Amino acid sequence: MAFSVNGKPVSVAVDDDTPLLWVLRDELKLTGTKFGCGIAACGACSVHIDGAIGRSCSIPVSELAGKAVTTIEGLKGTDGTLHKVQAAWIDAQVPQCGYCQSGQIMAAAALIEAVGTPTDAQIDEAMTNICRCGTYPRIRQAILAATGAAAAAPGAARTGEA
């Protein structure tokens, strides 16, 4: 099976029904994409497939022929600079345990790519990933900051200042 991951062509010899998640983690050693539930419900495994968000735990590798996959490792610029969503995540101090954050960031980046500056309703509709730590207010703050719609001054999420 041949497709690209983070801008590089890859070819893997696995069963056609192997979920993309396990190809990324076990075959390609890209461990930023996390296993959460295995049924595409939690979003910890979110990646971009041809620019759209996809939950890699439920996508068989056979569906990826000729497609482009971007993982959290590939979201950074080619010069190593952080993606604007990653930078906003840090500034807003979003993570607590951090387990879901790569999937959250991938979902937020796809949302911003699709709509530019999302409304609260668009954020609510698109951000269906589960955060067991409940950092949803900081996630929203980071999304808006990444688009320039809201300032995310360092420490704002901690102190309640915007």
Domain boundaries of the chain, sorted by first residue:
3-74, 84-146
- Specify whether the CB–CB gap between 20 and 64 falls below 8 A: yes
Task: Report the pLDDT averaged over residues 64-91.
Answer: 93
pLDDT band at 154 (very low <50, low <70, confident <90, very high): very low
Predicted pLDDT at 133:
94
Within 13 Å and on the Cβ side, how many CA atoms surround 59? 20
Supply the pTM of this predicted model. 0.89
Task: Report the pLDDT averaged over residues 7-23.
Answer: 96
- Lowest mean pLDDT across 64-68, 87-91, 155-159: 155-159
Q: How far is CA 124 from CA 22, 130, 143, 151, 155, in A?
A: 29, 12, 11, 19, 24
Please enumerate in sequence order all residues whose Cβ is within 8 A of that of 124, keeping only pairs 6 or more positions apart, or say none: none
Predicted pLDDT at 47:
98
Q: Is the pLDDT of residue 161 over 50?
A: no
- Domain 84-146, classified CATH 1.10.150.120, yes or no: yes
Residue 29 structure tokens: 């050693």
Domain 3-74: CATH superfamily is Beta-grasp domain (3.10.20.30)
